């Protein structure tokens, strides 16, 4: 995911996942053969109760290069979706936040952006796309943005959330407090996560098997005619 000479922008939301990712990348920077630069970007999205002062102070004390951008994404999403809408704020909010991060990365000559999604995010996203969107897709550990100018990486793609929680508790990171979901919780994601957790009670391998399924695709056993012309099959 990271190569010699990379300039990596770490998107620090202030939650446990992004803090753990940053810590791991800092250790990697000190020990890896590849020489690369790290810098942090925090996007203050205008959510009520957001308080990033402790996180910013922590970055300063650690001597970590960082920047904070203030964007009123909360108001934009609230106006577009509506406070009483049945739809979740999360998709639009995430898209706008990524747009801010990508723009900053391009303007400041970063070639890679690191996001803190972990294994459980990947498998829940896969199930959500299947159940609610009719698509077989998830979050790749590494991908190229549409304009071909940035590579986005997810260093925690193979890490379980429970391990991340344990490590974050040990490190006592100054997590950012906010209340971004006061209007509409992402109930679909919670329901799917609970479904996977319930299935794992009977078979603990269920989460890892779902992740393995993303890496073990058999096009000839599916029905996507763009990658497998099953209608054109003929006996030789």
Rounded CA gap, 132 and 118, in Å? 21
Contacting residues for 116 by C-beta, under 8 A, at least 6 apart = 11, 13, 15, 17, 18, 20, 21, 154, 156
What digits encode the pLDDT tens for the residues 35-73? 999 999 999 887 777 888 999 999 999 999 999 998 887
Which H or E run includes 107? helix 90-107
Block means of pLDDT (10 residues each) for the chain, length 236 residues?
A: 96 95 96 93 84 93 95 76 56 84 96 97 95 93 95 97 96 79 64 96 96 94 92 90
- The secondary structure element, H or E, covering residue 37 is strand 37-44
3-state helix, strand, coil in the chain (%, to 5): 45, 10, 40
Residue 81 located in a structural domain: yes
Q: Is residue 229 part of a domain?
A: no
Which CATH number characterizes residue 149's domain?
3.40.50.620
Q: Report the C-alpha gap between 46 and 15 in whole angstroms.
A: 16
Residue range of the domain that includes 131: 7-217
- Look up residue 219 and give its DSSP letter: G
- Domain annotation covers residue 230: no
Angle between helices 90-107 and 73-81 (to 10 degrees): 140
- Domains: count for the chain: 1
């Amino acid at each position: 995911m990271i190569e010699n000479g990379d300039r990596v922008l770490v998107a620090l939301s202030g939650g446990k996942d992004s803090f753990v990712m940053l810590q791991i990348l800092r250790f990697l920077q000190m020990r890896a053969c590849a020489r690369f630069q790290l810098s942090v970007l925090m996007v203050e999205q205008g959510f009520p109760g957001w308080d990033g002062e402790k996180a910013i102070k922590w970055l300063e004390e650690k001597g970590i290069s960082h920047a904070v951008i203030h964007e009123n994404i909360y108001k934009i999403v609230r106006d577009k979706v509506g406070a009483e809408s049945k739809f979740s704020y999360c998709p639009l909010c995430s898209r706008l936040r990524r747009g801010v991060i990508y723009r900053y990365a391009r303007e400041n000559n970063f070639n890679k952006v690191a996001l803190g999604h972990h294994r459980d995010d990947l498998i829940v996203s896969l199930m959500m796309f299947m159940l609610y969107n009719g698509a077989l897709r998830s979050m790749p550990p590494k991908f190229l943005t549409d304009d071909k100018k940035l590579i986005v990486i997810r260093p925690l793609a193979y890490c379980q959330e429970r391990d991340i929680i344990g490590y974050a508790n040990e490190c006592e990171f100054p997590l950012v407090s906010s209340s971004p979901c006061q209007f509409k919780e992402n109930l679909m994601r919670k329901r799917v996560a609970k479904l996977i957790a319930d299935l794992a009670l009977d078979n603990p391998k269920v989460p890892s098997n779902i992740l393995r399924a993303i890496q073990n695709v058999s096009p000839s056993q599916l029905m996507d005619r763009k990658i497998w012309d099953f209608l054109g099959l003929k006996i030789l």
